[in-house]
Structure 1
Amino acid sequence: MTLMKLSKLPDRTPVKLSMTLPPNLAARLREYADFYAETYGSREEVADLVPFMLEAFLDSDVDFRRGKRTAIAAGIASS
C-alpha cells in the first residue's frame, strides 16, 4: 500500500445543531455580527459566524487542548 503525504479527508458532512439562547446572549451575538460588519465591511448572519467563533474558542482553550492530549495519551477515545 502506498502512503500519501495527504491523509484521508475527514468527514465533512455538516451537522445541524439547534439551540435556544437567552435574550442577552442573542443580543450580544447580534452586536458581534455588527462589529464584524464594521470591521470587515461585509455583513454576515449570526448563524454563519457562530461555527467559526466556536472553533476559534476551542482552538484557543489551552486547558481543553491539554486535557485532550492527556486523554489521547491515556487511550481514552474522544470525538
Structure 2
Amino acid sequence: MTKLKLGPIIEDKPVKVTIQLPAPLHRDLSAYAAAMGREQGQTIGDPKKLIVPMLERFIATDRGFARARRDGGQRASRTDAQDG
C-alpha cells in the first residue's frame, strides 16, 4: 500500500475557516480522507479537517519557502520563479 504524506490528524480546538474549493478538488480531498481511513484505521468524518495538516506539510517541505524564510524574504521572488 502507498504511504500517504499526512500522519494522524490530532484533534484540537476547531477554528472556523470559510473557503470555496473547486468541485474536483473537494472530490480529491474526500478520496484522500477515505484513503487515510483505510491506511491508518482512522475515520476522517469531515475531509475539510485535512486542509490544515496538508498546508502545514506543504509549507514545512517547501525548500524555496524555507530558503526565503531563512534569508529574511530577500530572495523570495527569485526563489519562487526558480521552483516553479
Both proteins in one fold, TM over 0.5: yes
Count of matched residue pairs? 61
Counterpart in 1 of 2:53? 52
2-structure distance, mates of 1:61, 1:15: 24
Q: State the match for 1:6 in structure 2.
A: none
The answer on 1:16 being equivalent to 2:16 is yes
Equivalent position SS for 2:72 = helix
- In the alignment, the residues of structure 1 paired with residue 27 and residue 47 of structure 2 have an alpha-carbon distance, to the nearest angstrom, of 10
In the TM superposition, what whole-angstrom CA distance separates every residue of 1:3-48 from its partner, at most 9, and x where no partner exists? Answer: xxxxxxxxxx875321101000000000100110010112112122
Structure 2 spans left out of the alignment, 5+ residues: 1-12, 75-84
Higher RCO by CA contacts (8 Å cutoff, separation 6 or greater): 2
Distance 1:63 1:19 in 2: 25
> Aligned-pair distance for 1:68?
0.9
Identity, in percent, stands at 31
Aligned to 1:61: 62
Indicate how the Cα distance of structure 1 residues 42 and 15 shifts in structure 2: closer, same or farther if over 3 A, else same.
closer
**2: CA distance between counterparts of 1:63 and 1:16?**
29
The residue aligned with 2:43 is 43
The 1:62–1:47 alpha-carbon spacing in structure 2 relative to 1, beyond 3 Å, is: same
Q: Counterpart in 2 of 1:8?
A: none
Structure 1's unaligned 5+ residue stretches are 1-12, 75-79
* 2:26 maps to amino acid: A
RMSD in angstroms over aligned alpha carbons? 2.0
